[in-house]
Structure 1
Amino acid sequence: MTVLPSTRALLEHAVDYAGTFPPAALSLQNAVANYARERQGPDAWLLGRLVVPAGSLDELDAELAQEGRVAPSSSEYELSVIMSADARAQLARVGAFNQRWRGGARIVSVEFPPAEPADIPGLVNPVDNSLETFVEVPIDDHLDERLDAISRAGAAAKVRTGGTVPAAIPTPPALARFLHSCAARDLAFKATAGLHHALRSCYSLTYERDSSTAVMHGFVNVSVAAARARSGASVANITEALTESSVSAFHFGRESLVYRGSTTGLQDLASTRRLFFRSFGSCSFREPVEELARLQLV
């Protein structure tokens, strides 16, 4: 599949597939099957890690053991594991999993739930240096304290950009504040939830027929806003990118991305992804793919 260079630079391997999480809430078997299929498909350039809860690692072990699911000769499955309160035992399980599946599947990152600033070093310090570590942060009055603690611990931040209820969606100024604060600290981050769609608009919050709707963030908006934040933009300018709803405002070209007269070259787009906006979790992979195609952004 031919993908515009600027689209690829902005979004390559950006979607961490979290099919077992709401609103999709698939079985692990179905999520792994989807991930395996998409890895072999024409849209694999967009696919990142498979996200699984730490409590499902035994089930994942059994799933991967099925004949033909993972072969040592294939490129490794890259996994991100959602941790819970029993982190030390789970980290031991992560290490054992990586030993067992060496060459076939590898946990490359772990993600912790929100924690008080004073507790963050205790979460991060036991993690093996080979793993990328994310700590979720609420956008509240203690945002700066938490980001400072995450930065000092050598970890990265994680922000929740949506959910199955309107209250879970941060306002554009709040999300812009998070992006600006991360950029000021040169602190990498990932996003999770609510980024199924490319552009900001009103969408259904779940897949139920009677689902309520809300204005949701778009993953193109967040990606462009992250590039702006990393270039030193103000909170107001970052907010502008987050609230953009017109696809015509974005021009994806062969050498750059132009957003309302502001040009970002391929190198800056790629470094934003590599060093700043690492990825976003989504319980659907097909929706982001289909959105990009529908908007003719690939």
Structure 2
Amino acid sequence: MDASLKAFMKGIIDYAGLFPPADLSLDTAIRKYSMYRKIDDSWMLSRFIMPGWQLDELKPYGEELFQEGEPFAFSVLGKGTETVSDYQEHLEELIDVLQRFHATHGDRVTTDILEIKLPREAVFAYDDKLLAEIYTETLERMDSSASTPNEIFFEGYFDKNWKKEVGLAIEMLHSVNADFDGANVKQGAFKLRCGGVKADMFPSVEQVAFALNKVREQNIAIKCTAGLHHPIRHYADSVNTKMHGFLNVFGGAMLSYAHDLSNNQLEEIIRDEDPDRFSFDDEGFYWNDLKVSTKEIAELRDVALISYGSCSFDEPREDLEQLGLM
């Protein structure tokens, strides 16, 4: 396998088997994840995405699955909320359940990432001070305990004024990060939703490119979720729309870091449906004549382009094999 593909795909997939379209039961999903941890391709696997309000339901697996191999790694998912007060209340609930979870399972589990939607009230008020208060309160509350996540990924919204909304959310996150000096929490980061079970849940190429370049400009890490089961952008009958490809999105973002691409240039990569234009060798990843080195890929994956959630761990690997990349 080419070194650049290894660096690109290392730990990139957070397993989201609980969520549509897979929509598996907790028992089936957690056992599938446990099995994936033992196969040859486990190096591509990262965390199990787990709703925070369901963490207590994992207690029966503590003496069985959690005792095998490395500690079970979880990315904890928060609920979407409408108001700031609902968000604050949910934050306290998450902290309580996280503390119980770690008290029960000790060092056999990790919960280093929290994924949480910003309260709609804060986003659509277009109030930078209110957003800053939300970010600061979340980082400080999570920083108060070593058992709570140390990377917080805040999810925004693509609405009518999406450039203003997403732009402000990312800019204020940068501002808060610059002033925050936590003992446990490393940073606030951004979560980009790339699809769903309906066509209107997929952001446009323009929206994805804007978000990717905005986090790059503001030095914010990003993780993605939903809609990235396959390497290359394509039309999917199941949702009656085009689905983004993880090579397009992550590869485009890497090339944008390497070459300071404009939004229009990045859009061209994200929009491309020709797999022959994407290639790997030991030296780097290429799209047409643009290259990002293997060393740069490893560095970006470590600090900037973290992972993406997928309800399937099989489809991404099978597609890479079909493309002759594995």
Q: TM-score, normalised by structure 2?
A: 0.84
SS in 2 for 1:159: strand
Q: Decide which moves more: 192-201 or 105-114.
A: 105-114
SS at match of 2:286: strand
Q: CA deviation at 1:251?
A: 1.6
- The one of 99, 102, 105 equivalent to 1:95 is 99
CA distance in 1, matches of 2:320, 2:72: 24
Query: What is the one-letter code of the residue matched to 2:244?
Result: H
In structure 2, the partner of 1:134 is 153
Q: How far is 1:75 from its partner?
A: 0.7
Distance 2:118 2:20 in 1: 19
* Matched letter for residue 101 of structure 1: H
Aligned to 2:139: 124
Does 2:206 match 1:173?
yes
1:147 pairs, out of 170, 195, 198, with: 170
Q: CA deviation at 1:213?
A: 2.2
Matched residue SS, 1:167: helix
Q: Which residue of 1 aligns with 2:27?
A: 29
Q: 1:78 & 1:235 partners in 2: Cα distance?
A: 34
Q: Is the 8 A contact 2:135 2:188 kept in 1?
A: no
In structure 2, list runs of 5 or more residues that go unmatched.
Answer: 80-86, 123-130, 178-186
CA distance in 2, matches of 1:120, 1:220: 30
Deviation at 1:165, TM superposition (A): 0.8
* Equivalence map 1:240-255=2 (5 Å): 240-255=268-283
Select the residue among 177, 188, 200 that pairs with 2:233: 200
SS of the residue corresponding to residue 187 of structure 1 reads coil
Greater alpha carbon shift after TM alignment, 161-170 vs 97-106: 97-106
Q: Deviations over 1:117-136 (max 9, x none)?
A: 25333333211375211100
Q: Is 1:107 the counterpart of 2:130 in the alignment?
A: no
The amino acid that maps onto 1:111 is: E
Shift in Å at residue 262 of structure 1? 1.2
Residues 182-211 of structure 1: per-residue CA shift (max 9 Å, x gap): 000111010111001110001144xxxxxx
Structure 2 residue corresponding to 1:289, chosen from 288, 303, 317: 317
> 1 CA distance for matches of 2:257 and 2:208?
14
Deviation at 1:36, TM superposition (A): 0.3
Equivalent residue runs for 1:153-168 within 5 Å: 153=177, 154-168=187-201
Q: CA–CA distance in 2 between the matches of 1:266 and 1:101?
A: 37
Q: Determine the structure 2 residue equivalent to 1:43.
A: 41
Counterpart check, 1:16 vs 2:11: no
Alignment partner of 1:135: what SS? Answer: strand
Distance 1:87 1:57 in 2: 14
CA distance in 2, matches of 1:91, 1:204: 41
Residue 226 of structure 1 contacts residue 272 of structure 1 at CA under 8 Å; is this kept in 2? Answer: no
Structure with the larger helix share: 2
* d(CA) in 1 for partners of 2:103, 2:247: 37
Decide whether the 8 Å contact of 2:248 with 2:269 is kept in 1: yes
Q: How many angstroms apart in 2 are the aligned matches of 1:204 and 1:102?
A: 45
Task: Give the equivalent residue in structure 2 for 1:228.
Answer: 255
Residue 276, structure 1, aligned to residue 304, structure 2: yes
> Aligned partners of 1:108 and 1:96: how far apart in 2?
15
Shift of 1:147: 0.7
Q: One-letter code of the match for 1:120? A: Y
**Secondary structure of the corresponding residue to residue 101 of structure 1:** helix
Q: Does the 8 Å contact 1:195/1:219 carry over to 2?
A: yes
- 1:80 corresponding residue in structure 2: 75
Indicate the RMSD between aligned Cα atoms, in angstroms: 1.6
C-alpha separation between the residues in 1 aligned to 2:189 and 2:152? 6
Q: In the alignment, is the contact (CA less than 8 A) between 1:121 and 1:149 conserved in 2?
A: no
Q: Is the CA contact 1:203–1:214 (under 8 Å) kept in the aligned structure 2? A: yes
Q: Displacement, 1:149? A: 2.4
